[in-house]
Structure 1
Amino acid sequence: MKTSHLLLYILSVSTTAIISCNSSKNNTSDKTGMAYNQKTNGGFEVNTRFRRGPGPGLMEIEGGVFVMGGSAINVPGQELGNYNHKRETTVSSFYMDETEVSNTNWLEYLNWIRNTYPGDQEYYYNELPDTLVWRQPLSYNEPYVDNYLRHPAYQDYPVVGVTWEQAQRYCAWRTDRVNELLLREQGFMTSFKDLNGGANSNTTAPVNPGAKEPFNTDLYLNGQIDDRGKRAKKDLNPGSAANTAGNAGTGKDAPTRNVRLEDGVIKQPYRLPTEAEWEYAALGLIGNTQYENIGENKIYPWNGLGLSSAKKKTRGLILANFKRTKGDYMGVGGSLNDKGGVTVSVRSYTPNDFGLYNMAGNVSEWVADVYRTGTFEAADAFNPYRGNYYLDKKMLDPTSGKLDKDKYGRPILQAAIGGKKQTWAQKQAAANAPAVVDSLRGNTSYADQRGYRDRENELYGEITLVNNKSRVYKGGSWQDQALWLNPAMRRFMQQDESTADIGFRCAMTMLGAPEISTAGKTEFKQRSSPKFNPKRM
């Protein structure tokens, strides 16, 4: 990474929150002149001090244009489906995990399930990784079957034996735990200390006060979890139930409300990265870019054609965990080349120019996309993705707006009805005639041409292993040779299957301006809106 970009990156990371560009800095509408955040003026609230920042574990990835599949190496005899067709693509800025999800991270998830649902053995069992993936007919791997997930010797190693579906559920669980932590620690909800009877503890609370289900972000935002902490938001709406009750207090006794999405406190959902996001982040071309000029392309997440370090202090050290030859997994005793026989710690080697570890080797990683060989011949040039399956939260009561939920306190999702907003009459008809609506569901849910327009059989003629549950994984692993370390390489596996060499990391959407930092950059000056004084008209 060039020095100027390194300083810029450190500055952007150290400033964990970024002030949003807001035209309403004066707490007054520039179109009506009405004041914001005033109980006596309608109570319309606008957060004019919103500060953006990543959730725990995430690094900021400034998006931009790159050539999808541009790092691919054409090898004679290589199958067409092993790499992406070269195509110029733009990826929005986003956040990505600094490291792969580790065994300790997954055990935290399992511990929460056991504490929250102690009698639900099925839930716990379904989220257990398949440790039998280590078994091979002609290999002695039984120690990994028994120890890899739980023994402290492997606590910082990447979790394996997890399916794409399990990874998706982990992302949803992580979203709720992070948002609950933010709300409780900032006093918007009852603090962990108070929940635990005054004990000095900040462990995740399994159950909300007066409720049977744990915290869920969607249900909280929908008002179905009512928990107000000591620093709960003041309710400025004069028409709210609390303010019209006749006994609404002032100051500390003033009515309060739940945090809303508009307050900027709630984090976006953790999710699997798209294939385009993953490939863009793995290349880390930002380190080779100055004034929109890429000085040097890459075929790995690091510069150069070699697989070992060229720096004086680390010269000769292997830069990733992979298999050098068909039988060489770790090198010669006394001078091990990559320091690992199977996986290694998620913080091994050096991070790439985005600060991400092990974007080549160690374990391959699940991404969100459905696999097709020709996806990027036809996909959109902006944020390309194949896998859209639009879902709506099922309504329990259309009058109150309450969402239906499952036995774990999570909103029930159902296939979207159509591609545009319904009229009020259609919405009421849907609520009153669910059987009719259900017959229409699914007609427009697949929005990425899966189905009759999709050439599902293009790999092997009329018979293929590729289907709508085939998911892409990227990055190469401890079992792969160097060819697979190239970020453009891609393979697929069924979303309900797992192996000993596939793990994952999470991503998160970045909202607002795509630029991470404006430090040291020339900017256009913005002038304030002309002031309006209704008393002097």
Structure 2
Amino acid sequence: MDMKKLVLLTVVLTVIMSCGSGDRGELVGVQGKRWHPEKPYGMTLVPGGSFIMGKADDDLAGIQDAPSKTVTVRAFYMDETEITNGEYRQFVNWVRDSIIRTRLANLADEVGKTPEDGGIGEFAYTDADTASMTVYEKYMLDNYSGLGPTGNEGRKLNKRVDLIYDQAEYPDELYTEVMDSMHIPLEESYNGQRTWDVNKFKFQYTYLDIQKAAKNKNLKRSDVIVQEEVMVYPDTTAWIRDFSYSYNEPMHNDYFWHDAYGEYPVVGVSWKQANAFCQWRTLYKNAYQKDKKRQYVNSFRLPSEAEWEYAARGGLQAATFPWGGPYAKDDRGCFLANFKPLRGDYAADQALYTVEAKSYEPNDYNLYNMAGNVAEWVYSSYDPASYEYSSSINPIVNDNSNQRKVVRGGSWKDVAYFLQVSSRDYEYADSARSYIGFRTVQDYMGTDITGNSGR
């Protein structure tokens, strides 16, 4: 009798538990939140598909580094324009402000100042007031603070208080001391102007070297975590160094920081800086996602060489230029891009240097200036034979030991050959040029989207 009651009780409990879960005891999988792909601001969706990559006609330059090959790429988002000065300044300013806040918090910690003390104390680490911390924050502080090189890794900055830039409104001498340390020394200033010491604008980030981890499964996770530190301010002296015996001082002095050039593509940025920007953009967006309790977005990154060429073609097979071709003029005799036409007549296309990032007509994927204006960094390393051995699906060749990185699209100082969607060029990863910029991509997540690349 007791055994029957036990069996009956077990059955009842099983039924109750099954009904309570709502799955009727079936294998329905873990039900997460419904995913709705969100088009990133300023980007366009490039549908996945196949295309013939490489030279579609005679290789007149005889480089023989781009033989034709059928390649397939997955869908991705891509910036409609090159990254502009205004957009890159957002990155630079964020890095600058983060460094200032860290220095303020460190000094406040050193002298024992808290928000109640006012002045620099308002910028103390948020854990200065342990009473307002969550249980998790208190646990992390007790168990992980002091483990890094400075002892302050992981501590949260107080970003609720605005930084003060007006010297007349500095709250105290300690605040003044920190701000003074971020400017060039007084003896190095001229004309009464003390500018920021941009050598201190450094962005630190870490990433997982997945390729290395996949090739050696015996490595520990710590062995494949790479830490980078990159100076983020563009090298404005590129305008002088790139052109000997040429007067380009106005571009050096004004191009990056002046509002007149805010919508122009950023230049003087190395491949390493472009990658750092991608890391920051991902961090910045996901900080917002976390605050709004939304799922994280995919990483922003530089496009592969195949993705760049596929996007530049805009769905046109065997085209010479993003608009088709084979000519760089339309039927009215107007140039279709910003480059160096007519045996070196820079002004013939209505521009001497760069033009605004959203200039000329976009291609069929709504991408502007995929030919001309500024050449663009891609993630791939340059190898003349890479088309021969790279995969035919989502191909990429990036060798960390090869510092020659591919640039695509040609620029305002290039002849039409380099504007062709199939033309390849390269520069070294730590080099910055007055004619090289970049744009970013983000992998598309969700239902597969395939374009008709057979037009």
What TM-score, normalized by structure 1, do the two folds share? 0.54
- What is the CA–CA distance in structure 1 between the aligned matches of 2:303 and 2:254, rounded to whole Å? 29
1:329 to 1:180, Cα distance in 2 relative to 1, 3 A: same
- What is the CA–CA distance in structure 1 between the aligned matches of 2:396 and 2:451, rounded to whole Å? 27
Residue 127 (structure 1) aligned with residue 232 (structure 2): yes
2:191 is matched with: none
Q: Shift in Å at residue 320 of structure 1?
A: 0.4
The aligned amino acid for 1:180 is A
1:150 to 1:171, Cα distance in 2 relative to 1, 3 A: same
The aligned amino acid for 1:281 is A
The aligned amino acid for 1:59 is T
Which whole-Å deviations, capped at 9, do the CAs of 1:436-473 have from their partners, x for residues lacking one? xxxxxxxxxxxxxxxxxxxxxxxxxxxxxxx6111000
Residue 375 (structure 1) aligned with residue 386 (structure 2): yes
Residue 468 (structure 1) aligned with residue 402 (structure 2): yes
Pick from 134, 140, 162: which aligns with 2:247?
Answer: 140
The aligned amino acid for 2:299 is P
2:436 is matched with: 502
The aligned amino acid for 1:166 is Q
- What is the CA–CA distance in structure 2 between the aligned matches of 1:517 and 1:323, rounded to whole Å? 33
Residue 273 (structure 1) aligned with residue 303 (structure 2): yes
RMSD: 2.3
The range that moved more, 120-129 or 108-117, is 120-129
Residue 99 (structure 1) aligned with residue 204 (structure 2): no
1:352 is matched with: 363
Would you say the 8 A contact 2:341–2:416 is kept in 1? yes
Which whole-Å deviations, capped at 9, do the CAs of 1:146-186 have from their partners, x for residues lacking one? 011011221111100000000000000011111222343xx
Residue 163 (structure 1) aligned with residue 263 (structure 2): no
Select the structure that is richer in helix.
2
Residue 57 (structure 1) aligned with residue 162 (structure 2): no
Which whole-Å deviations, capped at 9, do the CAs of 1:381-425 have from their partners, x for residues lacking one? 101100166xxxxxxxxxxxxxxxxxxxxxxxxxxxxxxxxxxxx
Pick from 89, 92, 109: which aligns with 1:110?
Answer: 92
Would you say the 8 A contact 1:98–1:355 is kept in 2? yes
The aligned amino acid for 2:338 is N
Would you say the 8 A contact 2:358–2:368 is kept in 1? yes
1:46 to 1:133, Cα distance in 2 relative to 1, 3 A: same
- What is the CA–CA distance in structure 2 between the aligned matches of 1:69 and 1:517, rounded to whole Å? 19
Which whole-Å deviations, capped at 9, do the CAs of 1:80-136 have from their partners, x for residues lacking one? 33xx11111111111111000011111111111121111476441621100111113
Number of matched pairs: 307
Query: In percent, how many aligned pairs have the same letter?
Result: 36
2:26 is matched with: 33
1:440 is matched with: none
Q: Shift in Å at residue 517 of structure 1?
A: 8.9
* Structure 1 residue ranges (4+ consecutive) displaced by more than 6 angstroms after TM superposition: 27-30
Q: Shift in Å at residue 307 of structure 1?
A: 1.4
- What is the CA–CA distance in structure 1 between the aligned matches of 2:276 and 2:250, rounded to whole Å? 28
**Alignment gaps of 5+ in structure 1:** 1-26, 37-43, 189-258, 260-264, 289-293, 332-337, 390-466, 519-537
2:424 is matched with: 490
- What is the CA–CA distance in structure 1 between the aligned matches of 2:398 and 2:372, rounded to whole Å? 25
Pick from 298, 306, 318: which aligns with 2:335?
Answer: 318
- What is the CA–CA distance in structure 2 between the aligned matches of 1:72 and 1:108, rounded to whole Å? 42
The aligned amino acid for 2:36 is R
1:367 to 1:360, Cα distance in 2 relative to 1, 3 A: same
2:329 is matched with: 308
Q: Shift in Å at residue 503 of structure 1?
A: 0.3
Partner SS, residue 418 of structure 2 = helix
Would you say the 8 A contact 1:370–1:386 is kept in 2? yes
Would you say the 8 A contact 1:323–1:329 is kept in 2? yes
- What is the CA–CA distance in structure 2 between the aligned matches of 1:28 and 1:323, rounded to whole Å? 67
Higher radius of gyration, 1 or 2 = 2
Would you say the 8 A contact 2:39–2:77 is kept in 1? yes
Partner SS, residue 65 of structure 1 = strand
What TM-score, normalized by structure 2, do the two folds share? 0.64
Please give the residue correspondences for 1:47-446 in structure 2 after superposition, counting only pairs within 5 Å.
Answer: 47=33, 49-71=34-56, 73-75=58-60, 77-81=61-65, 84-118=66-100, 119=103, 122-124=199-201, 126-135=231-240, 136-184=243-291, 187-188=292-293, 265-285=295-315, 288=316, 297-310=318-331, 315-331=332-348, 338-387=349-398
Would you say the 8 A contact 2:55–2:423 is kept in 1? no
Partner SS, residue 172 of structure 1 = helix
Would you say the 8 A contact 1:71–1:487 is kept in 2? no
The aligned amino acid for 1:80 is Q
1:33 to 1:123, Cα distance in 2 relative to 1, 3 A: farther
Which whole-Å deviations, capped at 9, do the CAs of 1:218-262 have from their partners, x for residues lacking one? xxxxxxxxxxxxxxxxxxxxxxxxxxxxxxxxxxxxxxxxx6xxx
Partner SS, residue 80 of structure 1 = coil
- What is the CA–CA distance in structure 1 between the aligned matches of 2:63 and 2:87, rounded to whole Å? 36
